[in-house]
Structure 1
């Protein structure tokens, strides 16, 4: 089974985090090395930082690509749950139409009563 967009999003964000940590380590190493070995070490560290930051950007972009699809998956799941709820309510109404009418009438009466009493204050 192929990974979902949400899983891909998490994977790429994790990869971006790893690259960012590596960039921070490379920057720390570059600073430490610069005090001891000066210019050459600093240039190598700078190149490593740039490479890791570039990888971070690429991983972030890949995660962003999956972000929209992951959001669509979540909306689709919510829509399916909503449809199931409506279908369940429709089935209940078909099975017990009088009870359903009574509940709806009572709820309407209660809402109207609450609305009228709220305006008196």
Structure 2
């Protein structure tokens, strides 16, 4: 006896249900795999971000440590220039004492005049 239409329909519905179940399992596996891969990428990105922030902090600390030495270098250079200027002025005073006295006297007189005019 050949199967009836109802039996054929039930058989096909059962087969369709089996395929749907397999498709749902495959979709679940794909979602789990995608979530796992995304989690792995997130962990990798987080680790890279932490490493870059750590390197940035270390570079900032190194720069801060060197800033004191750099400031000392600049101060030393400024002091050397000041000493050179004082030495140059001393040489000029030795070479032309009368002119130096005249310039100092005139500068003092001008400063005194300005100070009196402000009162």
Same-fold call, TM cutoff 0.5: yes
What is the CA deviation profile of residues 78-118 of structure 1, one whole-angstrom value per residue up to 9, with x for unaligned ones? Answer: 00000000000000000000000000000000000000011
CA RMSD of aligned residues (A): 1.3
TM-score by length of 1: 0.67
Give the distance between the partners of 1:94 and 1:85, measured in 2 at CA: 14
Provide runs of 4+ in structure 1 moved above 3 Å: none
**Structure number, greater radius of gyration:** 2
1:24-43 paired onto structure 2 within 5 Å: 37-43=37-43
Q: Tell me how many residue pairs correspond in the alignment.
A: 84
What is the CA deviation profile of residues 25-48 of structure 1, one whole-angstrom value per residue up to 9, with x for unaligned ones? Answer: xxxxxxxxxxxx532111110000
Give the distance between the partners of 1:63 and 1:83, measured in 2 at CA: 30
User: Which structure is higher in RCO with an 8 Å CA cutoff and minimum separation 6?
Assistant: 1
Unmatched 5+ stretches in structure 2: 1-36
